């Protein structure tokens, strides 16, 4: 009898520990989100998503008597949100991936395999989870910078040209696909890694596994000289998607254009010294729900990293029917950064700017992973997401190629990102530029020094002989 009681106690303890772990890790597949009005959101609730006038919360976070609606209670899996043009677009997959519409947004509950087909049907797939209590963990932001036109910055970013952008984008789109689950995406990650290395940056991979596939964010760091522990991030996602994602996904606009902007910023700023540290990052797993940036941003919280600003560039080289425009998105804790980014583009380019000062972080791209954790972040995109004629018509197709993009606009955005990072990280134009010398260059320099040294020794020896004679 005592043996049976002991086993029951063990089973009870195991069940209790499992429940505690599930609560710590987030709701299990049987838990359900509920939609409630924002006016009913209690202060201590941990919402999973905040919309314009509603929130998605767990049942335990809902006060008695509050009107609420269950979201896909019968479906197991993780929750995702995505913007769609029309619910009719989702009819081909409604049996495979059930959804719940809130305005133009679809809420899905599915596994990673089900989520892998969703980017074909909408924009900004984002995996949802309990929003961090970012008010308690937000770092002290970088002190506001007075935005004034700086001829040194203008001269520096003039090194970014439509031709240099086109050359780099040609390389990026040369991979048959950069779909996160494909081996070609690993090749693209290695390409970026080697490029960062060639610029003399401290380069690393940030490894993570999603749905059984090892993926890598690529990080190139320019360490600051006076405040190295304060970090400015300029980033964009490297991966892409199409209707034939495993075989053919050039992803020129989404997001070769953002990647090129990051790489050009790295090329230019790596030759300078900065007071603060700059990290140039390309994320993988964005098309699967912002997976790579979510892992990375959480790691930054875990290690207590001081991130002063995040500049995210995603889809920035399609001009569309409008002459020239760029959209900037920022949330309340980042409005100062959104304003600074807007002014920077106005100062250094002829591109028209449209600023969106949102009440909560705009989801759908990698800045969201940082913004929900309290880090100031700004998001640049060349059209209001999924709205109007300016939206890229070849989005998530095999026709997302360079021919449809404008390299003048691409260069202007790359210049803006570079200038903004330079302002935030305090580029020291009084310092001598850091030379970048290849291994062959180092060898030639060493041989030249050896030759000059040998000539000098021989000449000195001859002079001594003449004096002796």
Q: Are residues 360 and 468 in the same domain?
A: no
Provide the phi-psi class of 103: left if phi over 0, else alpha when psi is between -120 and 50, else beta: left
Q: Are residues 84 and 174 in the same domain?
A: no
Q: Are residues 356 and 410 in the same domain?
A: yes
What is the pLDDT, as a whole number, of residue 246? 98
* Helix, strand or coil, per DSSP, at residue 309: strand
Q: Are residues 378 and 316 in the same domain?
A: yes
Whole-prediction pTM: 0.85
Q: Specify the DSSP class assigned to residue 346.
A: H
What is the pLDDT, as a whole number, of residue 464? 41
What is the pLDDT, as a whole number, of residue 134? 54
- Residue 153: which domain range? 134-425
> Where a domain ends, among 127, 146, 172?
127
What stretches in the chain show pLDDT beneath 50?
1-29, 136-140, 142-143, 436-437, 457, 463-469
Q: Are residues 98 and 208 in the same domain?
A: no
Q: Answer whether residue 436 is part of any domain.
A: no
Q: Answer whether residue 2 is part of any domain.
A: no
Q: pLDDT tens digits, residue range 60-115?
A: 778 888 888 999 998 899 999 999 988 999 999 998 999 999 999 999 999 999 99
> Where a domain ends, among 69, 92, 127?
127
What is the pLDDT, as a whole number, of residue 44? 73
Number of separate domains in the chain: 3
Q: Answer whether residue 438 is part of any domain.
A: no
Q: Answer whether residue 437 is part of any domain.
A: no
Q: Answer whether residue 259 is part of any domain.
A: yes
Q: Answer whether residue 3 is part of any domain.
A: no
Q: Are residues 238 and 151 in the same domain?
A: yes
What is the pLDDT, as a whole number, of residue 387? 78
Q: Are residues 358 and 284 in the same domain?
A: yes
* Helix, strand or coil, per DSSP, at residue 204: strand
Q: Answer whether residue 402 is part of any domain.
A: yes
- Which long-range CB contacts under 8 A does 158-161 form with residues at least 24 apart? 158/415, 159/268, 160/264, 160/268, 160/411, 160/414, 160/415, 160/418, 161/411
Exposure string over 257-276, b if 16+ CB within 10 A, otherwise e: bbbbbbbbbbbbbbbbbbeb
Q: pLDDT tens digits, residue range 253-304?
A: 999 999 999 999 999 999 999 999 999 999 999 999 999 999 999 999 999 9
Closest CA to 423 of 125, 161, 202, 148: 148
């Amino acid at each position: 009898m005592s043996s049976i009681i002991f086993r029951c106690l063990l089973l009870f303890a195991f069940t209790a520990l499992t429940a505690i772990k599930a609560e710590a890790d987030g709701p299990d597949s049987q838990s359900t989100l509920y939609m409630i009005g924002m006016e009913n959101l209690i202060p201590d609730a941990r919402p999973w998503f905040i919309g314009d006038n509603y929130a998605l919360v767990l049942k335990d976070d809902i006060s008695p008597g509050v009107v609420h609606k269950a979201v896909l209670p019968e479906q197991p899996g993780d929750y995702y949100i995505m913007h769609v043009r029309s619910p009719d677009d989702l009819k081909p997959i409604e049996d495979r991936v059930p959804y719940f519409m809130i305005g133009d947004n679809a809420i899905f509950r599915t596994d990673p395999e089900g989520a892998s087909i969703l980017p074909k049907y909408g924009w900004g797939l984002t995996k949802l989870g309990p929003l961090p209590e970012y008010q308690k963990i937000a770092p002290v932001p970088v002190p506001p910078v007075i935005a004034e036109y700086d001829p040194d910055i203008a001269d520096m970013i003039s090194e970014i040209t439509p031709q240099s952008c086109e050359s780099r984008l040609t390389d990026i789109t040369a991979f048959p696909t950069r779909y996160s689950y494909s081996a070609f995406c690993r090749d693209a990650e290695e390409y970026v890694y080697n490029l960062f290395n060639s610029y003399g940056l401290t380069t690393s991979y940030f490894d993570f596994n999603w749905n059984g596939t090892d993926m890598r964010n690529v990080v190139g760091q320019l360490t600051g000289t006076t405040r190295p522990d304060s970090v400015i991030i300029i980033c964009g996602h490297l991966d892409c998607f199409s209707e034939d994602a495993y075989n053919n996904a050039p992803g020129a606009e989404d997001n070769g254009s953002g990647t090129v902007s990051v790489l050009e910023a790295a090329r230019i700023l790596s030759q300078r010294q900065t007071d603060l540290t700059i990290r140039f990052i390309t994320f993988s797993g964005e098309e699967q729900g912002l997976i790579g940036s979510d892992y990375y941003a959480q790691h930054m919280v875990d290690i207590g990293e001081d991130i002063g600003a995040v500049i995210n560039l995603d889809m920035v080289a399609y001009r569309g029917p409008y002459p020239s425009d760029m959209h900037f998105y920022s949330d309340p804790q980042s409005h100062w950064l959104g304003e600074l980014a807007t002014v920077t583009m106005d100062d250094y380019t002829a591109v028209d700017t449209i600023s969106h000062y949102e009440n909560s972080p705009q989801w759908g791209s990698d800045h969201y992973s940082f913004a929900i954790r309290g880090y100031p972040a700004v998001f640049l995109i060349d059209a209001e997401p999924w709205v109007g004629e300016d939206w890229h018509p070849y989005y998530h197709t095999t026709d997302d190629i360079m021919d449809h993009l404008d390299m003048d606009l691409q260069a202007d955005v790359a210049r803006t990102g570079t200038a903004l990072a330079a302002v935030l990280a305090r580029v020291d134009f009084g310092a001598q530029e850091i030379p970048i010398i290849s291994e062959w260059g180092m060898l030639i320099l060493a041989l030249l020094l050896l030759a000059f040294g040998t000539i000098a020794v021989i000449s000195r020896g001859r002079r001594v002989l003449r004096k002796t004679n």
